[in-house]
């Protein structure tokens, strides 16, 4: 597995195949899935974080179940574009995952993704409990859709 940009990832992708979007949080991992033509991202699931080996196993099993050909990982940059502790933790997770899996992946700037999704859920009058239940996987879909839109222009 390689850490890369979308520009580096694009030539490695088969003509058709699903991508999985990840929103790595401290307590959960939000998952989203693209269609095989990579046009639309849909929220998929949320994995409760336990410890790295179990988190990685759950993630890789879901990827295998759906025939995922690559991962798009939200990178939580600071508003000024610098990397803080959350971005470093995300890079560390993917560095460790790359030792056990061969899926290529790319990081995607996820600034404000959770805030945008939360605003939309509030606008739809979703209860606080409902928002908590779906926000991570919807943030993963938001991240993945941004990457899919960018891939179309490469």
Hey, which residues does 23 pair with through a beta bridge? 30
Non-local CB neighbours of 43 within 8 Å, separated by 6+ positions? 30, 31, 32, 134, 137, 138, 140, 141
Token readout for 78 is 């600071």
Among the listed residues 110, 153, 154, the one whose alpha carbon sits nearest the alpha carbon of residue 135 = 110
Q: How confident is the model at residue 123 (pLDDT cuts 50, 70, 90)?
A: confident
14-73 residue pLDDT tens: 999 999 999 999 999 999 999 999 999 999 999 999 999 999 999 999 999 999 999 999
Q: In terms of DSSP bridges, do strands 3-4 and 28-34 run parallel, antiparallel, or are they unpaired?
A: unpaired
Residue with tokens 């759950």: 58
Q: Which residue segments constitute the domains of the chain, with CATH numbers given? A: 3-152 (3.30.420.140)
The whole-model pTM stands at 0.89
Q: Which residues have CB under 8 Å from 66's CB, separation 6+? A: 18, 20, 33, 44
pLDDT tops 70 at residue 133: no
| Residue entry with tokens 């859920």 | 121
- Mean pLDDT, range 133-145, rounded to an integer: 86
Q: How far apart are CA 47 and CA 70, in angstroms?
A: 18
Angle at 79 between CA 33 and CA 59, to 5 degrees: 25
Name the 3-class secondary structure at 144: helix
User: If residue 23 lies in a helix (H) or strand (E), which one and from where to where?
Assistant: strand 18-24
């Amino acid at each position: 597995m390689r850490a890369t940009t979308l520009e580096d990832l694009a030539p490695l992708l088969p003509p058709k195949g699903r991508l999985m979007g990840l929103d790595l949080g401290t307590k959960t991992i939000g998952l989203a899935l693209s269609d095989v033509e990579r046009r639309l991202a849909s929220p998929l699931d949320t994995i409760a974080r336990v410890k790295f080996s179990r988190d990685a196993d759950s993630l890789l099993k879901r990827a295998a179940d759906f025939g995922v050909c690559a991962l798009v990982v939200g990178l939580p940059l600071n508003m000024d574009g610098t990397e803080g502790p959350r971005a470093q933790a995300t890079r560390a997770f993917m560095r460790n995952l790359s030792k056990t899996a061969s899926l290529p992946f790319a990081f995607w700037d996820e600034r404000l993704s959770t805030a945008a999704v939360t605003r939309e859920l509030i606008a739809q009058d979703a209860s606080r409990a409902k928002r908590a239940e779906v926000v991570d996987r919807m943030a993963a879909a938001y991240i993945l859709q941004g990457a899919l839109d960018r891939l179309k222009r490469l």
